[in-house]
Amino acid sequence: MHTAVATGALEDLTGGRGINTASRADLAEAAARVLTEDGHLGRAYDFTGTLWSYPQLARVLTRVSGTPVLHQVRDSLTPGALGWLEAQVRGGVLERQTDDLHNVLGHPPTTLDQAVAEVLASPAPQSGAAE
């Protein structure tokens, strides 16, 4: 995200499909609740966050950072494992959503705006590190 703000461009390899990521903090809280609260024994959960898309992410990056970030579509997949993941996203695999995370947390999961604000408030990762 820091790179997109610095360059003013957010490359989109998803083919316009959505992604249902959840924050690490939300997943950690949910895991702690499942391990320490009654009523979870024998249950299976599919924790998904709020569905978002790259055009939405570009708008949120622009709003939160105050720097224009343009959404740019790229058609060619990245070689290797990342390309495989991109193909899965393009196929809609990460659009599935459940209420499991919300229900276990007892409150809504972190929003895209909140997640972006948190990431941009932290120092930019070192060159080559994932954001």
pLDDT tens, position by position, for the chain (131 residues)?
899 999 999 999 888 899 999 999 999 999 999 999 999 999 999 999 989 999 999 999 999 999 999 999 988 888 999 889 889 999 999 999 999 999 999 999 999 999 999 999 988 777 655 55
| Tokens read off for 88 | 């899965």
Crossing angle (nearest 10°) for helices 112-121 and 54-65:
50
d(CA 121, CA 119): 5
99's enclosing H/E stretch is: none
d(CA 101, CA 49): 7
In this prediction, residue 54 carries a pLDDT of 93
Helix, coil or strand: residue 37: coil
Continuous H helices in the chain: 2-7, 24-36, 54-65, 81-90, 100-105, 112-121
